[in-house]
Every structure is written in C-alpha cells, then in structure tokens.
Structure 1
Amino acid sequence: MDNDDDEPLDSETKDETESTLAPQNSDDTLYCEAEAPSSVEKKKSTQEDSETDLEIEDTEKFLTIGQKELYLEACKLVGVVPSSYFIRNIEEATMNLNHHGLGPMGTKAIAITLVSNTTILKLELEDNCIMEVGILSLMEMLQENYYLQELNLSNNDLGLEGAKIISDFLQENNSALWKLKLSGNNFSEESAALLCQALSSNYRIRMLNLSHNQFSDVGGEYLGQMLALNVGLQSLDLSWNNFHILGATALCNGLQTNVTLKKLDISMNGFGNEGALALGEVLRVNSCLAYLDVSDNSITNEGVSRIGKGLEYNESLQVLKLSLNPISMEGAVFLILSIKRNPKSRMEELDISNVMVTEQFVKVLDGVCAVHPQLDVLYKGLQGLSTNKTLIPWPNPMKLIQNYTEEQKISIVKFFKSLNPAESMTMTIGDFRKQNKVPINRYQVRELVKKLEDKEGMVSFSSLTLGPWPAELQSS
C-alpha cells in the first residue's frame, strides 16, 4: 500500500522554443514573475470569472494555436515572464512546478494554457504562493479540462478563502481529478467545515492529503461526519494535525460506517489511549481499511490492548504502524497474540520499530508467523544484544533460490511464477511471504522484498527477465 506516495517525475526534455524566452531565465529556475499591481485585481463573481478570467480575447486563436504559443500569449495577457521549464515539458504527462515561485498571476497563465491541454495528467504546484487569484484560476480551469487527474497544491497558505474556492469546485466536480494534495495550507476548523460539506457528496476524489494543517477536535467532528457519508475516498492523510480525544472519537465514529476508505494516515496527532479505544472499535467493525498509520499518538500499552481487541476480529487490515508510541514489549506481545487469535487476519506488516524486544518475544512471534506466514513485524532490536554484536549472518536468499532452481532444472522466472497461482510477474508481499518451496526465514524474505518491491507495493519479478540477475540481488 502507500504511502501517499509520489511517482518518479518524468525527465526533462529540451525544446527549441527555449530561445524565445526572456534572457534572464536559466534552464531550471524559470519562474521569475513581473506581476501586475495587486490593486488592479478586483474581486469578481464566480460567473464573471468563468466567463472572462481564462479567456483570451480572440477565441478562435485560443482554440487553434499551439500550447506553447498559447502560454506565451497568456503570459503577455497577465504580465509575467514565461517559465521555460513549463514550455519544455508541456507535452509530458507530469508537470512539476514545485517551488518555482509562480505567484498568483504566473499560476493564472498556467491555468489559461491548461484549459485546452490534453497531455498533462499530473500537475505539481507546491509552494508557489498562488493565493486567491491563482487557486480561483485553477478551479475554473478544471471545469473545462477533462484530462488532468492529479493536482498538488500543498504549502500555498490558501487559508479559509482558498478552502472556500476549492469547496465550491468540489461540490460541482465534473473533472477527471481524483488525487488532490492540500497539505500545509493553514486550514483550520472553518476550512474543515467547508471542505467536508463538499466532500460528503463528492465521489470523484479518491486520494486526499490534508496533512500539516490546523484541524483539531471540531475539525475531527466535521471529518467524521464526512467519512460516514463519503463513498469515493480511498486514501486520506490527516497526519500532523491536532486531533485529541474528542476529535479522534468523532473521526472514528465516521470510520465505523465508511465502506470505501482503504488507507488512513493519522500519525503525529494526539489520539492517546481514549482515541485508541475508538480505533479498536473501528477495527472490530470496519471491513474496508487495509492500511492504518497511528505513529506518534501518545498511545501506551493500555491503548495498544484496546487496538488489539479490534485486531482479533478484523479481516481487512494489512498494515498497522504504531512506531514512536510509548509501547513496551508487553504491549507488543499483546498485539501479536491478538493477530494469532484471529484466523481470518490479513495482517502483513506490524510496525513497532521503536520497541526493544527479548528472545522470548521472538519465539512467540515465530509461533504467530507459523499461523500467519504473511506477517512481518518490525521492531527495534533484541534487549541485551550489544550494538557491536551482529545477528546471525543468514545466507543470501537469492543464492538459496538459485541452488533450488538448479536442482529442479527450472529457470528463475519459472520459479517465481510458480509462487503465484495466476503465474503473473507480480504478487502481493503477503502472498510472497507464504512461499514454502525454499526454506528461508522472515528476515531473508524481508531482504528479498526490499529488492523486488515495485512502486505499487507489490513484489515484481520483471527485472529477472532482463538477462543476468541485477548485482544487488546477487549480493547479500
């Protein structure tokens, strides 16, 4: 699963049109802006904006000239210096303009151009001080553009006015947009009310990042009400906010009836043991959530025991992150025994990576993994083990697999395909851990997963079909 998890950006491509740009622009820092005086900007009604803001006077020209020429026209119209980075990459699927200092009018020029763009699917505009003019232009553009799917507006300090403009768009969202990042925009309780009202009836947004904002307990109530009604969201990041007992409880009340959310990050909040009690109840009844991050939420062994009670019944959760909470080995034991008691548990990863455990814990874990071979538990280390003392140097797992394939006289690809009933080149990490053809322990499996995991969180064997094994797979 992911973390919210950005894909690698497309590489830059050179373009002959660079020579047409203002001489002060360099290849990579192309975002200077000669902005018109702010006093010239007047607040317009939404109707006026939609009719005039994103139009060039010559409509026929707007529809027929190329994207690069249209952008240069738009820059002239709003009075900014063009970005050669934008021009060079205008035909790529990903446009990364993070930290380019566009400002509101530079953003408006981009929006004017994207009204008719059909190639850019992902637009990154983090940290550009886009302000009200910029966000309004972007939302108007999205009403006309049916190709843009992912938009990052993080760290633009949009505040309440920005939240209102985005909420108005979300209430009538007919675009292709499904992934929206709004981290670090100084959204507080009033912003939460507006956004949640819009999201309650919006089913198009599937991935939403609202981390690093100012939501607290009242915001938690709004978000809980939204989650009870929303049937679109699959991934929600609420990390680094200010939820405490009341907000945590309200949020969890909404999660109990939610039927679509698969990934939730609520790390770096203040759920505490009372919030953990509410989370335990969510896990007991929710049948959709697969990934839950509650790292650093002041949860002690008492709270962990309540989460564990939910794990005894849960049949959907695969990843649970509890690192940076004040949990001892006793709490860790309670968690793994809760998983063991649930024959239908799908848990694949339990992260308690700040907890020191004993050899007795490892023995108990071995028993749990015998029942649930798909499970991996990340802990800090063994108590009493010197930092200079290394663990047993396990044999290179790929070498063991190579020996097995030579004995069986089969190719390495055929071996990996045989682990998957569908005989495809990818499989889930949990299913991969269940393989029993070659005797390797969970530490060796973890080493293999690190080397074979793809960006979708699956184990992929594709690299093994390209000739000799990659060097990193041959080394221990």
Structure 2
Amino acid sequence: MDNDEPLESKTTEETETQPAPQSSDEMLYCEAEVPTPVDKEKAGRENSETDLEIEDTEKLFTTGQKELYTEACKLMGVVPVSCFLRNMEESYMNLNHHGLGPHGTKAIAIALVSNTTVISLEVADNCIMEEGTLSLVEMLQENYYLQELNISDNALGLEGAKIISEFLQRNSSSLFNLQLSGNNFKDDSAELLCQALSANYRIKEIDLSHNQFSDKGGELLGHMLALNVGLLSLDLSWNHLCSQAAMALSNGLKANITLKTLDLSMNGFGNEGAAALAEVLRLNSCLASLDISSNDISTEGVSKISKGLEFNESLKVLKLFLNPISIDGATLLILSIKKNPKSKMENLDISNVMVSEQFVKTLDGVYAVHPQLDVVYKSIQGLSVKKTILQWTNPMKLIQSYADQKEITILDFFKSLSATGAMKMSAGEFWKAMTKQNQVPLNRSQLRELTKRLEDSTGMVDFSVLSVAKP
C-alpha cells in the first residue's frame, strides 16, 4: 500500500499549507482534510457548468496535468493520491478502494476534464456519494476520451440513480461501458435507470449486478430491453429476480435486436422462468451468451430450454452451473444441440452434474456433429480422480514435441490451422480446426486449457503471443 502514499511536502508546490499527517496509514486516503481556510475555496455545487473549474481558468491550459491535480486537491482540501499522479499518462486507471470520498473524487474529476490518455477509470468502493457522482458525470460532459467507468460498491442509492439517469438521457459522452454493481439500487432506482436506458444508444455494456431489483424492477428492465437499441451486454446477476421478472425480461428479449450477452445468474427464476427463456431461445436470433446459473432450475425447466435450443441459431454460450439438473436433463440438453444442424453452441456449462459413461458416449456423437462444442461437467461416475489426472498432459508440451520433430516453430503449427495463416481465430473456429487436425491429438480438457492460455480479452484465440514466448 506504500505505492498509494501521497506526495511528501518536498515533492509538491505550496505544500506548506497542508498539515503534517498523523500516521502513514492516514496518508493512504485522499479524504484527509486541511485547515478551515482552505475549505472556503471550495467550488459551489449549484452551478454545474463551472463546478469543475479552477478559479484561474487559464491554469487548465498552462499548468501540467500533475500540477493541475495537485492544485485541485489543494482547493478541495484533500491529499493527492500518488497512484493517480503516477498513472495519469496511462490508458487504464485503477483507484478502487482508495477512500477518495466525494472531495477526493471531485479533485480527480477536475484533473480528468482535460486528460486525453485515460480511457478506463475504476473508482469502486470509494464512498463517492452524490457529490462525487455529480463531479464524475460533469467531467464526462467535457472529456470525450474516457470510455469505461466503474463506480460499483459506492452505495449510491436513489439519489445516485437520479444523477446517472439524467446523464444517460443526454447521450452526450463517449462512455460505452458503465459498471454500477453493488450500489443499493432498488426498484425505484430501476425505474429511473430504465427510463434513461430506453432512450440511450451510446452505452454498450452495463453491470447492474449485486443490487436489489425484485420482480417489479424486472418488469421495468424487460420493458427497457424492448426499446433499447444500443446495449450489447447486460449483467443482472445477484439480484432478487424471480419467475415474474423472468417472464418480463423474456418478453423484452423477444423484441430486442442488439443484446449479445446476458448474465442472469444467482437469481430465482425457477422452472417457470426457464420456460419463458426457452421461448426466447426459440425466437431470438441475436443473443450469443446466456448465464442462468443458480436459478433453481431443475430437469423440468431444462427440458423446456432443450426444446428452445433445437431451433436456436445464435447462442454460443449457455451456463447452467449450480442448478439441480439430473443426468437425464443433461442428456436432453446435448441431444437438442445434436438435433439442430444450425446450432452455434460452443460452451455448455453443467459443471456441477456428475455424468455417466453412457452420457460421455452420447456426447462423443454430438461432438462428431458439432466439433466446436465444449460441454463442461463435473466428472464421470466410477472414474477415479487418479485415473483422470493420468489422462492429462500439458497440451503445449505435446505441440512443442511435434514442432521439434518437424523442425518448425509452435507458431507455424498454429498458423497452419487456418487456410490464410491467420494469427487470430474465434474460440469456435479454433476448436473445429484442432479437432480436425490429427498431428497432435488432444482431449477436451487439454483443448480447454490451451484455449484459456491463448484467449485474449475479446474472446479471440490469439497466436501472436507465441512469437515472443520462449520455447
């Protein structure tokens, strides 16, 4: 934590006005106050157009970025955060858990108004409160470089939702990724946020997980999905959404034509909710990833979902982890994929289900039809852990051994998987290519491990990292 200590008095200008900290622990927090005379210089919140301006506006252009932040801290009566000063020229800024408070957040916002390098900002768990939230959204009206903002775990509540809602309705910033997890948002907050998102077309990814939306909030969210034309990813995991919310969300998804990724895990949809989602899978041609883990969906609900999968042509990832599914339910799922020649399924997660050897034989038949598919299950009944471990060998070592024998590089081997010698492939294309080649036969576990090693942040398998890797 020493890296986050504020600057010593000898490293900042005019620091004789700052009090000596009482302990090194106190220096880690940006909320340390200076004497009362400095407090009189704080800008008033009433005028939002000038809220983030320093008294001498010319300093915005004549003062360096670090000096500007130091001056802002002086005006706000807080101690500068050294982590912010060190990374002002980096694209990613992580200030999570720094105890910024509203005043420290405002100083950060003042400095970022003219910053052109920071693209992603994280200020989760900083008790930024209403004033800090207002400062950040005002900054975003002027800064057109910041694209990702994480203000999760700040207990923003209804007042924070109002500020964010007003900001989203303007459609006036470059922000496309907004994380609002764990902010004590309830159904009244959902109403405000949904009203804004219904008309917002700039936000592409939003995280509303770990909040307190109930079925009423779910109805509002469903209506929003039917109107929204911008969202690509929505996270509603760890809320209080039950069957009624599932039905409303499903109705919204039937009309939605943009959403690709939806996380509904850790809610309470039950079999009724599963039946509603099954209808979505049958009709929706856009959704590519659906997570409904831990939703109290039994084999009865899975049988409904299976019928939807028989017609679906877009879904690639389906996560059903921690649902009470039997082997019969698991079998229904894989057979529904086999029946669908246009299925694009790449990953089916039923990793809490212990399957039988007969299930594995059936699955091999499904793999023959859909080689891109990877089904993750718990284990096979009767197969010892020791035997399972003995079947696993480092896949990269096997490929290296083959490359040495042929006197080629590992990169040459991977480039040969594509007719064009491409350096990147989607995970599904990679699996297809690896299962078709017979020089280095790998089992599913090895392929899964290999994909994890080569997969980048966008989900693409990237071979270029091997060009700089040591043998």
Deviation at 1:17, TM superposition (A): 9.4
Deviation at 1:407, TM superposition (A): 6.1
CA distance in 2, matches of 1:186, 1:42: 29
Match of 1:296? 294
Asked if the contact 2:347–2:375 (Cα under 8 Å) also holds between the matched residues in 1, the reply is yes
Match of 2:11? 19
Match of 2:464? 462
Asked if the contact 1:272–1:298 (Cα under 8 Å) also holds between the matched residues in 2, the reply is yes
Asked if the contact 2:30–2:78 (Cα under 8 Å) also holds between the matched residues in 1, the reply is no
Amino acid at match of 1:29: L
Asked if the contact 2:7–2:80 (Cα under 8 Å) also holds between the matched residues in 1, the reply is no
Match of 1:29? 28
Q: Secondary structure at the match of 2:172?
A: coil
Deviation at 1:32, TM superposition (A): 3.9
Deviation at 1:105, TM superposition (A): 1.0
1:437 aligns with 2:429: no
Q: Deviations over 1:226-273 (max 9, x none)?
A: 111111111111000011111111011101111111111110000100
Point out where structure 1 has 5 or more consecutive residues left out of the alignment: 1-10, 470-476
Give the TM-score normalised by structure 2: 0.90
Percent identity between the aligned chains?
Answer: 66
- Counterparts in 2 of 1:101 and 1:407: CA distance versus 1, 3 Å: closer
CA distance in 2, matches of 1:125, 1:258: 31
Q: Secondary structure at the match of 1:200?
A: helix
2:134 to 123, 136, 144: 136
Match of 2:188? 190
Amino acid at match of 2:197: L
Asked if the contact 1:276–1:306 (Cα under 8 Å) also holds between the matched residues in 2, the reply is yes
- Bigger CA drift: 156-165 or 21-30? 21-30
Deviation at 1:447, TM superposition (A): 2.9
Deviation at 1:409, TM superposition (A): 5.5
Asked if the contact 1:296–1:323 (Cα under 8 Å) also holds between the matched residues in 2, the reply is yes
CA distance in 2, matches of 1:275, 1:18: 62
Asked if the contact 1:32–1:83 (Cα under 8 Å) also holds between the matched residues in 2, the reply is no
Deviation at 1:124, TM superposition (A): 0.6
Match of 1:72? 70
- Bigger CA drift: 199-208 or 105-114? 105-114
Note the 1:165-314 alignment, pairs <5 A.
165-314=163-312
Asked if the contact 2:41–2:76 (Cα under 8 Å) also holds between the matched residues in 1, the reply is no
2:370 to 369, 372, 383: 372
CA distance in 2, matches of 1:365, 1:54: 60
Asked if the contact 2:171–2:201 (Cα under 8 Å) also holds between the matched residues in 1, the reply is no
Q: Secondary structure at the match of 1:185?
A: coil
Amino acid at match of 1:247: A
CA distance in 2, matches of 1:153, 1:160: 15
Amino acid at match of 1:258: N
Q: Secondary structure at the match of 1:378?
A: strand
1:453 aligns with 2:445: no
Deviation at 1:442, TM superposition (A): 2.2
CA distance in 2, matches of 1:44, 1:56: 11
CA distance in 1, matches of 2:81, 2:425: 42
Asked if the contact 1:54–1:111 (Cα under 8 Å) also holds between the matched residues in 2, the reply is yes
2:411 to 397, 413, 436: 413
Say how many residue pairs are matched: 456
CA distance in 1, matches of 2:111, 2:230: 29
Q: Deviations over 1:22-60 (max 9, x none)?
A: 6648699342421899x9999988xx4323311122222
Match of 1:7? none
CA distance in 2, matches of 1:137, 1:467: 44
Deviation at 1:452, TM superposition (A): 2.2
- Bigger CA drift: 402-411 or 58-67? 402-411
RMSD (Å), alpha carbons: 2.7
CA distance in 1, matches of 2:212, 2:43: 27
CA distance in 2, matches of 1:368, 1:303: 22
- Counterparts in 2 of 1:75 and 1:392: CA distance versus 1, 3 Å: closer
Asked if the contact 1:340–1:372 (Cα under 8 Å) also holds between the matched residues in 2, the reply is yes
Amino acid at match of 1:115: V
Amino acid at match of 1:31: C
Asked if the contact 2:84–2:93 (Cα under 8 Å) also holds between the matched residues in 1, the reply is yes
Asked if the contact 1:18–1:84 (Cα under 8 Å) also holds between the matched residues in 2, the reply is no
CA distance in 1, matches of 2:178, 2:140: 12
Deviation at 1:399, TM superposition (A): 4.8
Point out where structure 2 has 5 or more consecutive residues left out of the alignment: none
- Counterparts in 2 of 1:354 and 1:248: CA distance versus 1, 3 Å: same
Identify which of structures 1 and 2 has the higher relative contact order when contacts are C-alpha pairs closer than 8 Å and 6+ apart: 1
Amino acid at match of 2:11: S
Q: Secondary structure at the match of 1:253?
A: helix
Match of 1:3? none
